[in-house]
Amino acid sequence: MKSLLIHVCLIWLALTPEILAFIPLFRLGSSSGNIPSNPSKQSASTVKSSVQAQSPIDISNYVEKTCSAITYKLNYNNETTARFENAGHTVKVIMDGPDDEKPIISGGPLTGEYIMQEVHFHWGKNDSEGSEHTINGNRYPLEAHAVHYNTKYKNFQVASNYTDGLSVIGIVFDILPYRNSDFTEYENIMIDPLTSRLKDIPTNTSKLEDTAEELLKWFSPFVAKDHYFTYKGSLTTSPYSEVVTWIVYNAVIPLSEHQVEVFRKLKNPDGKCTKEHFRHVQPLNGRCVFYCSPNAETRCDHST
């Protein structure tokens, strides 16, 4: 497990599980240089075969940029259902209902509104790996991807063909070195409704229905933040299309060793545990990573 800020460690003992929803990561060293054109303002085009803007990346050099917070419209109610499914290589929360009951994000680097398609997870065989994005070279045991598509397109499949088609929110998780007052292992009660149901979908293609409110309880209060990283990249699984505006939060969601381990017990199509499901970091190839906050400079140093 990677170290967080020392002063954050000191306040952990004063926090209760109910308010320990997320913890800020290190602020990273910023770069300076020429301002590039804003990719979110460029005209959308159909996807061409490319390996120049692949994801994930290591976030270690970035440009501070003034931009708005991400706006999150919940849309679903306590009766809206979602499909929770073991897809063999990952686990997914899929919003199957009508579009007007699906969450929508906007603001920040996004032009227009993006509707949620699914949330899926990436993990590794131990606590030192699993996340796809790395922060200052540090990899975390779990990463969630909330996949959204641009509402100006008919559906997810159509949107996947355009450079402004998709936006993915990346959130990393870390194991908290914190014990309850009785010295039992800390468990994040916000994500427990999801992790506690993983035992009910142990094998490839197994699935169930639950309320979106329960399965996304950990996600909803986390999204509308005004500090995050963003860059133009790709899907991290085949076909690796370069159609994604990435939004990666500069905070971790804490959870217990047990809550991570249940992901590793899920079975793949071969009947074996899915112990490793993440892509290694890709070169920037001159792209800029922006750190968005309400008041920031706007400079860019092209990194490799």
Asked if residue 239 has a cis previous peptide bond (ω within 30° of 0), the answer is yes
Asked: is 6-27+71-225+239-278 a CATH 3.10.200.10 domain? The reply is yes
Question: Could you tell me the residue ranges of all domains in the chain?
Answer: 6-27+71-225+239-278
**Residue 16 has which token pair?**
């209760």
Single-letter code of the amino acid located at 165: G
Chain position carrying tokens 């979908």: 201
Question: Can you say how many angstroms the Cα of residue 102 is from the centroid of all Cα atoms in its chain?
Answer: 17
**Helix/strand/coil for 119:** strand
Contact criterion met (CB below 8 Å) for 248 and 59: yes
Place of tokens 């699984």: 237
- Return the SS3 of 62: strand
CA distances in angstroms from 34 to 63, 299, 302, listed in the order given: 10, 6, 8
Nearest to 120 by CA among 158, 76, 168, 155: 168
Active site residue 258: no
Reply yes or no on whether 153 is catalytic.
yes
Q: Residue 156 in 3-state DSSP?
A: helix
Q: Is 220 helix (H, G, I), strand (E, B) or coil?
A: helix
Give residue 120's region: left, alpha or beta (phi > 0; psi -120 to 50). beta
Any idea how long the chain is? Answer: 304
CA atoms within 13 A on the CB side of 300: 18
pLDDT tens-digit profile, the chain (304 residues): 443 332 333 233 333 333 344 555 543 333 333 323 333 333 466 655 568 999 999 999 999 998 888 999 989 888 889 999 999 989 999 998 899 999 999 999 999 999 999 999 999 999 999 999 999 999 999 999 999 999 999 999 999 999 999 999 999 999 977 666 665 677 889 999 999 999 999 998 899 999 999 999 999 877 767 889 999 999 999 999 999 999 999 888 999 999 999 999 999 888 888 878 899 999 999 999 999 988 766 655 444 4
Peptide bond connecting 294 to the previous residue in cis, omega within 30 degrees of 0: no
The pLDDT value recorded for residue 177 is 72
How far apart are alpha carbons 129 and 191 in whole angstroms? 20
Locate the DSSP E strands across the chain. Answer: 23-24, 58-59, 63-66, 70-73, 81-86, 91-94, 104-107, 114-123, 134-135, 142-150, 166-175, 207-211, 228-233, 244-255, 290-293
- CA 202, 208, 212, 213 dihedral sign is negative
By three-state DSSP, how is residue 18 classified?
Answer: coil
Residue carrying structure tokens 């390996």:
51
* Distance of alpha carbon 164 from alpha carbon 150, whole angstroms: 7
pLDDT of residue 49: 56
What is the rounded distance in angstroms from the CA atom of residue 28 to the CA atom of residue 269? 40
CA 282 from centroid of its chain's CA atoms:
17
pTM of the predicted model over 0.95: no
Active-site option among 89, 178, 227, 302: 89
Q: Which of 149, 153, 162, 291 is catalytic?
A: 153
For 299, phi and psi rounded to 5 degrees?
-135, 160
pLDDT at 253: 92
